[in-house]
Amino acid sequence: MFERYFYIFNIALEAVFINKFRSMLTALGIIFGVAAVIAMMAIGRGAQKEILDQMKLVGVNNIVIASKSENKKSPEKNDNSSQSQAKDNSDSKESKKFSPGLTLQDAVGIKELIPTVDKVSPEVIYEVDVIRGGKKSATKLTGIVPDFFNVFNLDLLQGEMFNEQQLKEGKAVCIIGNSIKSHFFSKENPLGKEIKCGPIWLTVIGVIRNREVNQQALENLGISDYNNTIYAPIQTLLVRYKDRSIVNKNALENETTIFFDRGAVSFSDQSGNAANRNQVDKIVVQIKESAMVKPTTEVLKRMMLRRHAGVEDFEIKVPELLLKNEERTRDIFNMVLGAIASISLLIGGIGIMNIMLASVMERIKEIGIRQAIGATKRDIILQFLTEATMISITGGLIGIILGIVLSKLIMELTQIPTIVSPWSVVISFGVSATVGIAFGFMPARRASQQEPVASLRHE
């Protein structure tokens, strides 16, 4: 029995090689279809990994409350204009409301009053010039609390976290990102060494483990580059650098315009933009359960409006929801691309069926001779089915190689991340083989139904 099947296979193989050019043209549809499916699935996997990496960057179940500076413009010169009067009236109404901006007390209140909140991480961010060993670089100095590292899943490469005394007393210590270490401490251990951040020398007590990040993703999500940031206790920045919530004589003298309202003071700079008087720049709130993110966002908004006298000088962002929406959009896009690529496989299958039907018509006499010398209908079906399957499998193998190469080229030329998974290769190869069998069966069946006498008379 095995010898019979082997003989049928040899006949099919010989027929494919006799018509090499036609067989290759027939396989092109399968080749491009398989290559397109692998490339599209690689793009989809790369996009999914990018989304997951971004989720790790923003942390799990996080809500970000950021300060929002408001513009104050000078009154219009034309007082007779009804539009200027309406604007002045609205401005006067707004000026009756005073908000202290984002403060540490906001963070404390959120932690104590909202039961769905797990961790709260306020941040104070200053742009400073960092100097050490004749090197100078502009970077961000961020004041944090211990929960910051847990919220953003950051680990230390070496050193230790801030202790209670350093946090409470605002000691001149810091933890640096890996890029800062590479730039200023390339040939020495940074632990215990001092680095000048603005006017203050800070002692390095730890280094954050390097984390691969996408710069564009960081900008879109409003996240600092962990590798290129210096972290200090939040009290260190408020005590040793500047507490923006405190109004003193120097602050009054340095401001151009002062607006008094019910004893409260607000400031604006020379450009007319409201100066930043927020004690903290943002507050990151981590929720205990994903299902509670959306309702907690609503509660946070109402609570913050009450604490800020109804002034919406803050904005609340839910990075995870934004990323999930982006992931859904990309999934839909990848499904559309995958469907288009699958159409190529369908067209390739139709091409195989068309060529095999033409082959049956050309080889009617050959079929009659085989039947005359003892070939059964099953033998004829297997012969033509084997030919179709060989063409589709060969096209599938070539398509797999082309798909992998195409995925690498897309990543190199467009910087779009692509990941070729073994499953995509297996699925593509399986589909190509199935297409050959499915679309080769009809021509094979038609060949087997030829009458031997009529076939032998065919010219």
pLDDT digits (tens, 9 = 90+) for 102-161: 888 999 999 999 999 988 999 999 999 999 988 899 999 999 998 888 888 888 889 999
**C-alpha span between 379 and 370 (Å, rounded):** 9
pTM here is 0.57
> Same domain for 101 and 205?
yes
**CA 193 from centroid of its chain's CA atoms:** 37
How many structural domains comprise the chain?
A: 2
**C-alpha span between 232 and 140 (Å, rounded):** 11
> Same domain for 262 and 225?
yes
pLDDT surpasses 80 at 271: no
Query: Per the domain annotation, does 201 fall within a domain?
Result: yes
**C-alpha span between 48 and 40 (Å, rounded):** 12
Average pLDDT value over all residues in the chain: 76
> Same domain for 182 and 267?
yes
The b-or-e profile of 310-343 (16+ CB within 10 A means b, else e) is ebebbebbbbbeebeeebeebeeebeebbeebee
Query: Per the domain annotation, does 64 fall within a domain?
Result: no
> Same domain for 19 and 127?
no
Rg (CA), the chain: 35
> Same domain for 308 and 371?
no
Among 251, 285, 312, the domain-final residue is 312
Expressed as residue numbers, the domain containing 297 is: 69-85+96-312
**C-alpha span between 28 and 26 (Å, rounded):** 6
Interval 401-417 mean pLDDT: 85
pLDDT of 303: 92
| Cβ atoms of 303 and 110 closer than 8 Å | yes
Label residue 75 by pLDDT band (50, 70, 90): very low
pLDDT surpasses 70 at 296: yes
Query: Per the domain annotation, does 218 fall within a domain?
Result: yes
Query: Per the domain annotation, does 319 fall within a domain?
Result: no
Choose among 25, 45, 14, 44: nearest CA to 398: 25
pLDDT surpasses 80 at 182: yes
Among 312, 341, 369, the domain-final residue is 312
Query: Per the domain annotation, does 451 fall within a domain?
Result: yes
> Same domain for 274 and 345?
no
**C-alpha span between 95 and 266 (Å, rounded):** 10
DSSP 241: I
> Same domain for 330 and 305?
no
Label residue 173 by pLDDT band (50, 70, 90): very high
Query: Per the domain annotation, does 418 fall within a domain?
Result: yes
Query: Per the domain annotation, does 317 fall within a domain?
Result: no
Strands 257-261 and 264-268: antiparallel
pLDDT of 195: 93
3-state DSSP call for residue 119? strand
> Same domain for 384 and 283?
no
> Same domain for 194 and 49?
no
431: left (phi over 0), alpha (psi -120 to 50) or beta: alpha
pLDDT of 224: 66
The gap between the terminal CA atoms of the chain, to the nearest Å, is 33
Label residue 204 by pLDDT band (50, 70, 90): very high
Model pLDDT for residues 10-60, shown as the tens digit of each residue: 777 777 777 777 778 777 877 887 888 888 878 877 776 776 666 656 666
pLDDT of 218: 53
- 68-82, 237-251, 262-276: which has the minimum mean pLDDT? 262-276
> Same domain for 262 and 148?
yes
Q: Report the C-alpha dihedral over residues 140, 141, 144, 148, rounded to 10 degrees.
A: 40
Among 266, 286, 312, the domain-final residue is 312
pLDDT of 201: 93
